Amino acid sequence: MAQVDPARSRIRDRKGGLELELALSQGVPYRIFTLQDPRRVVLDFREVDWSGVQAATLVRSDLVASAAMGGVRPGWSRLVLTLTAPLALQRAALTIDPESGAAVLRARFMRVGDAAFAAAAGAAPDPGWALPAATSGDSRAASSTSEAGVLRILLDPGHGGLDPGAMRDGVTESRLMLSYARTLREALVRAGAEVAMTREDDSFVSLERRVEMAHAMDADLFISLHADALAGGGARGTTVHTLSKTASDEASRKLAERHDRGDILAGVDLSHSDDVVADVLMDLARMETQPRSEALADAVVAALRSAGLPLNSRPRRAAGYSVLKAADIPSILIEVGFLSSDRDRANLVTPEFRARLAGAVRDAVLAWQLADEAEAPLRRQ
């Protein structure tokens, strides 16, 4: 894996444009492209280790509003620069020192007009570089061999890779949710469920891809797991969220927005907006699914309460979470606690606490399944 040498790397203004110089311990394949809404420059690399690189010291330019870097999928890493002005790649070259094997990537970007930027924006359609594609309909058929009555659950540890989520006192949401998801998976599998996860390691998975995975495995349930931080205020305890067009409160609206921003920072192309017809069909499907999602969320709150686990004073919330938009699969998002709360953070880093929490969520899922099966004959097929 190539290491970035922060001391010899810089991104700065030069002659009215932007100049990038990255010193790497060895040469690696790379590509550079731009994205629209918001305007970004994306640099992908094979196997680059960004640890020790601080965005604030790397980037010294008014043309860059923010920078994010890190893993985007196993074996690939990414640097995303959010721009304050439209830029186009003028030239790029990777030179390798024949003696040491060390490499320097130099790239220059020039100012262009809005139309020129829009015309050039978009990831190159090279399958070798693409983010994992949507699984085709075939896998749905292949996976429909599950026994009747066996719940198929997709657990979604929030964030990952380039998008670490909340960070407080050395605790990172993406890593913490991965270990909690593993504990919850074990509890659910022991209870007879079939469980998959949207990610098995610290890699980035887009929100859209997470929803696609739920469809591909023909999931009965989708449970997204988070432990975000809220600035100010003393938010603490578990909250359980469902999808809603209007947010139940300002904090939930901001959480949903922040999760979408993670995708933008990670360089996901969000420029293809949903078409209107599809939206109407989705709304119809959601009319069936929504009460089942609400019932699951209520069951989680009830199970945590009866287990004596710390709940938020307003534990049931709703907002426009993109990851909950699978129209035909009951989906909830559990904020297991807030990393901004000292008490919650201390609880969540304890394996025993995570195990108790997993036990309560498992109980909720089993209780929900019983009630849901009883109501199934009443639902339209």
Where do contacts with Zn ion occur on this chain (CB under 5 A)?
158, 165, 226, 228
Q: Which residue is nearest to Zn ion (CB)?
A: 226
Q: Report the nearest approach of Zn ion to the CB of residue 78 (Å).
A: 19
Q: Report the nearest approach of Zn ion to the CB of residue 163 (Å).
A: 9
| C-beta closer to Zn ion: residue 158 or 330 | 158
Q: Report the nearest approach of Zn ion to the CB of residue 159 (Å).
A: 6
| C-beta closer to Zn ion: residue 86 or 161 | 161
| C-beta closer to Zn ion: residue 43 or 255 | 255
| C-beta closer to Zn ion: residue 257 or 288 | 257
User: 251, 361, 351: which is closest to 300 by C-alpha?
Assistant: 361
| C-beta closer to Zn ion: residue 24 or 235 | 235
| C-beta closer to Zn ion: residue 86 or 165 | 165
Q: Report the nearest approach of Zn ion to the CB of residue 34 (Å).
A: 27
Q: Report the nearest approach of Zn ion to the CB of residue 165 (Å).
A: 4
| C-beta closer to Zn ion: residue 58 or 240 | 240
| C-beta closer to Zn ion: residue 34 or 312 | 312
Burial track 294-327 (b if 16+ CB lie within 10 A, e otherwise) = bbbbbbbbbbbeeeebbbbeebbbbbbbbbbbbb
Q: Report the nearest approach of Zn ion to the CB of residue 114 (Å).
A: 33
Q: Report the nearest approach of Zn ion to the CB of residue 239 (Å).
A: 12
Q: Report the nearest approach of Zn ion to the CB of residue 357 (Å).
A: 16
